[in-house]
A and B are shown apart, each in its own frame.
Chain A
């Protein structure tokens, strides 16, 4: 029985008895950890947003540990990755995307400088052992993730050194050897990994043996065979195939002499080669590519597949690029090439609904050259793999890389469906994750939401303009065969760049929901709440106005029925 107070005064805070949450007719706020677009687009499976969060807290080692949950080689990818994360970064809608690549590189280098070690414990001596063919980025990543998951790994590498393409075909100007060596050494030092060098599949070991002796076989042989190249059956006598040429250059520092060179192709190998030839003294180096340069004229699916930074540097160095162009005819004197006829073309949708490259009659022109280098791609060398090869590649039947044989997976370039170091590293993660689930008899954990949260789901009012860090770069004149062209941004810039991260889809602990709730229905927690945020919704009082969701900068709060 309520007894009237004299003069009808009320006691403090007694309105808590009145549960205004009953007014909520429709939706209530919930925390939804959406995938950040950087993470959604990362072929290596990194969650950049998570490690930027650690950096924002000033914890560089913590950030590095977040990176190496997926990617054991950040100093490498921080140099060679085409960083689709930056292309996807929502910050572009505000000013410029984060320099994720440069910060990753700094973190990777800092780990080497500081001697940080992977947060991994040794697998049990009787843990199942997985055979891994190839010690390139895919194989190394697979071995690393095996150890993380408590498995042992035996790597079989045909070459005398681990590293694969990283070592064989990426110039020092992009990836200094000491960095590569340091990251690979740290990885191979992990307990539970045995590395068998000069062990070539089909010669020194067979797939059957590997299958017999190991819990699983992960095939990451890379693409060692050049695709056959000819123009209407004509092949110059002094044909140099791109990847081989690049490997020779990287290995011995030697390049053939030529005055006017045409490189035919559109990938990083082609670009590396162009620049190496130019630096070696060629007067004119022209890249002929069927794809287009990035820009409004070019459909995004038809853009030349080169790291944007590399493209920019190549243009600085005087490389000519003929895009949307193909070679029609070789002009030979005897069996030596003296010129090429090129022709404009475009990728157009045909009547069958598929895109075809269509050449345009009347655009033919002849370029005088003394060397043509095809760089149109490579495929899997068939040795030891036999029947597994399907049209040049080990084409897996699921994203984890499973082939038709039990517990045999294909990883990296050999899959033929992607061609970056980051993807190769990601393959290692995905394959091992799937394998472990299979070994444990657990259902394969579904791949996370791979669609990143869009900028219109954020509230960009809460982010101030902030300039993107610019990495130092060698002047064109100072560029050599040995020195790395792009420099380190340094700790201060890396930390400052981290502050630019919008934290898309994840709680920033910015207090906006707590500050703006007119009903005090957002409770701030001292320790992390169960959903990883710092706040609870007290639905006893939430009237469902939606202010918190509207004003959440990161899109972490959604209104749901």
Chain B
């Protein structure tokens, strides 16, 4: 049954359905509504979990790590500065191969201070060893959140579910909320064999010498690569139960025969879809590629999705100053060497909450036609606002 529900409330209810033992979080815009909603569910007795209101994101991540290490199902959520404050713990969690789920309500990173949406936060921790899934809309966010618990359990890797701050978290959309009994059947109890347990007392978080460190990192990488299959299988399984897909690794929409493709992560994908519908024939139809799994990076699926393209516009919602777009660079790397690799047009846009209008579609399609167009630009930057020296 469809309900009109705010993204944050929907996430909170999805998390509750997964019956986590421990939730720890620290408020930060635009994640706040999720934490508040969870607190309310606990307060009303609708959710039986140890809700730990910590004194920082650093502790939020630490608390869920401590809890998960004992074999408890644990969850946290944050955004922006919170992600960065957690950074040290994020590496720690994945390095110990502890299953855990976290929602990131994507937001820009200060300075200058901005409370609005872009992907600077999750990009900043792209190498922290977590699975990172980006959701295009709130239905996908709900489905992905639930799937994330299962992916995490099966892979013994932590999963970061990214959803755009405000754009999704604070937006009312009609959502099909799953049934609790379905979830109870679909999501098996967490069996973490390496859990802290007085009857079989293991030591976690040891010091590893150079003789074994490379092997630790290799095995982590190998686990991430194997997780590609798990993400797809779990999505298939979800589809079998709900009839919906969470988005797999990569999803393709628009014109499959188009020679121009546009790749995006998160809610921008929806804007592009609508923009294409509304732009009319003059702008032309593109192949729209939605990258859901940013980590592990689905190289093969991307190559397949991009087959036959001459131009690929890659949209980044963050910037790596001095390089350009991270997604653009990575996609280019994956496609490089293929005989028919498309030309990559990498644009950062919508930084720090800059509105991404539907018309962006037509503008991108126009720009791609320019043979002298830059390999990378901050597409929606108005340089006239800058002192000439700073342009």
Contacts and interface: CB of A to CB of B under 8 A. Distances in A.
User: Is there any pair of Cβ atoms, one from A and one from B, under 8 angstroms apart in the complex?
Assistant: yes
A9 B202 contact: yes
Contact of A4 (B95, B156, B216): B216
Contacts of B216: 4, 8
A6 B219 contact: yes
Interface string B183-217: 00000000000100000111110101000100110
A7 interface: yes
Contacts, number: 36
B98 A12 contact: no
Nearest to A4: B215
A492 interface: no
Interface string A1-42: 010101111111000000000000000000000000000000
Contacts of A10: 202-203, 206
Contacts of A6: 97, 156, 194, 219
A16 to B, nearest CB: 14
B368 interface: no
B208 A8 contact: yes
Given A12-B201, A12-B202, A12-B203, A7 B96 contact: yes
Interface residues of A, number: 9
A146 to B, nearest CB: 64
Contacts of B215: 4
- Max chain B Cβ within 10 angstroms of own Cβ: one of A2, A4, A8: A8
A4 B212 contact: yes
B194 A7 contact: yes
A7 B206 CA distance: 9
A6 B94 CA distance: 11
Contacts of B200: 12
Contacts of A4: 212, 215-216, 219
A19 to B, nearest CB: 18
A9 B96 CA distance: 8
Contacts of B212: 2, 4, 8
A7 B204 contact: yes
A222 to B, nearest CB: 74
Nearest to B215: A4
B219 A9 contact: no
Contacts of B98: 7
Interface in B124-145: none
Contacts of A7: 95-98, 156, 194, 204
A6 to B, nearest CB: 5
B154 to A, nearest CB: 14
Interface string A88-105: 000000000000000000
A10 to B, nearest CB: 4
B189 to A, nearest CB: 20
Nearest to B212: A4
A199 to B, nearest CB: 80
Contacts of A8: 96, 206, 208, 212, 216
B202 to A, nearest CB: 5
Nearest to B98: A7
Contacts of B203: 9-12
B1 to A, nearest CB: 42
Interface string B265-281: 00000000000000000
Nearest to A11: B202
Interface string A294-336: 0000000000000000000000000000000000000000000
B201 A9 contact: no
A129 to B, nearest CB: 71
Interface in B203-258: 203-204, 206, 208, 212, 215-216, 219
B164 to A, nearest CB: 32
A11 B212 CA distance: 16
A11 B202 CA distance: 5
A12 B203 CA distance: 7
Nearest to B202: A9
Contacts of A12: 200-203
A84 B53 CA distance: 73
Nearest to A6: B97
A10 B208 CA distance: 11
Contacts of A2: 212
A6 B216 CA distance: 8
Contacts of B95: 7
B69 to A, nearest CB: 10
A27 B200 CA distance: 37
A11 B203 CA distance: 6
A12 B98 CA distance: 19
Contacts of B194: 6-7, 9
A8 B204 CA distance: 7
A248 to B, nearest CB: 84
Nearest to B211: A2
Interface string B155-173: 0100000000000000000
A550 B31 CA distance: 59
A15 to B, nearest CB: 10
Nearest to B220: A7
A8 B208 CA distance: 7
Interface string A430-468: 000000000000000000000000000000000000000
B262 to A, nearest CB: 39
Contacts of A11: 202-203
Interface string B352-370: 0000000000000000000
Interface string B85-123: 000000000011110000000000000000000000000
Contacts of B156: 6-7
A2 to B, nearest CB: 8
A6 B204 CA distance: 10
B205 to A, nearest CB: 8
A139 B98 CA distance: 85
Interface in A475-515: none
A324 B325 CA distance: 108
A2 B216 CA distance: 13
B226 to A, nearest CB: 13
B30 to A, nearest CB: 33
Contacts of B208: 8
A3 to B, nearest CB: 9
Contacts of B219: 4, 6
A5 to B, nearest CB: 8
11 contacts: A4-B215, A4-B216, A6-B156, A6-B219, A7-B96, A7-B204, A8-B212, A8-B216, A10-B206, A12-B201, A12-B202
Given A11-B202, A12-B202, 13 more contacts: A4-B216, A4-B219, A6-B194, A7-B98, A7-B194, A7-B204, A8-B96, A8-B208, A8-B216, A9-B194, A9-B204, A10-B206, A11-B203
Interface of B: 95-98, 156, 194, 200-204, 206, 208, 212, 215-216, 219
What 4 A-B pairs are tightest by C-beta distance, nearest first?
A7-B97, A7-B96, A10-B203, A12-B201
